[in-house]
Structure 1
Amino acid sequence: MSDSPMREPTFLVLTALAAEPRHGYAVIEDVAQMTAGRVRLRAGTLYAALDRLRVDGLIEIDREEVVQSRLRRYYRLTGAGEQSLTAESARLRAQATIAERRLRARRTELGGATA
C-alpha cells in the first residue's frame, strides 16, 4: 500500500476485520454500527474493496462455509493489514490532536466563546 491516506471505506473495512474474521454482510453491518449508520457500504463497493485488499495483501480468506446453499467467505486481517491500519490510525490521531489543540487555542483567544 502507498503512504497516502486511506479512503474511509478501506479504513472501516480493515477496522471491522481487526476485531475478528467476518463475512461480507457482517462487515457491512459492523461498519454501519461503528459509524452510527453514517456509512452504509453497498455490496458491490464492499466486494470490490475486499478484492483490492486481498491483492494488496492486507486481508486474506479465513474460511468458507455453505449457509442456506450459499457460499459464505470469511476474511481476516493479515500482518501487513494490521500494520497499515495501525499506521493510518496513528496518522488520524495525530491530525485530530492538531485540530483539538488549535480549537482550544482559538477558544482561549476568543475568551472562551465558541462562536
Structure 2
Amino acid sequence: MSERAMQELALLVLTALADEPRHGYAIAQEIKGITDGRVVPRTGALYGALDRLVTEGLIEVRQEEIVDGRARRVFGLTTAGRERLALETERLAVAVQEARRRLGLGGAPATA
C-alpha cells in the first residue's frame, strides 16, 4: 500500500463506496453530492479511476448485470480499500488541524 497522498477523485470514489456498493452513475452522483457540486466526474476520468482502484485492490466488482442492453458493474470497497480510506482520512485530518492552528482558527469550524 502506497503512503503517497491519494488523488482527490480516488478519495471521493472510496468515500462514495464507504457505506454501500454502487454502480458508476450512482458513484458519480454521490461524488457530486459529497462535494456540493464542486466535483462532477467526467465518465472517462471516473471509469479510469475505478479501473485503477480495482487494480490496486481497493475496490472490487461485486455484481455485473445488463441494464437496457448495457453492462453495469456494481463496485464495493475491499478491506484494503476501507483501511486506505481510514488512513487517508486521518492524514487529511492532521493536515487540516495544523492549517487551522496556523491560521489562528482554533477549534471553531471554518465558515464559507
With normalisation by structure 2, the TM-score equals 0.90
How far apart, in 1, do the equivalents of 2:81 and 2:21 lie?
A: 13
2:96 counterpart residue number: 96
Question: RMSD of the TM alignment (CA)?
Answer: 1.4
Structure 2 residue 70 is the aligned partner of structure 1 residue 75:
no
The one-letter code matched in structure 2 to 1:89 is: T
C-alpha distance after superposition, 1:72-111 (max 9, x if no partner):
11000000001111000000000000111112279xxxxx
**35 and 105 in structure 1: CA distance in 2 versus 1, 3 angstrom threshold:** closer
Structure 2: give runs of 5+ residues left out of the alignment.
Answer: 107-112
1:32-111 pair list within 5 angstroms: 32-104=32-104
With normalisation by structure 1, the TM-score equals 0.87
**88 and 68 in structure 1: CA distance in 2 versus 1, 3 angstrom threshold:** same
Structure 1: give runs of 5+ residues left out of the alignment.
Answer: 107-115
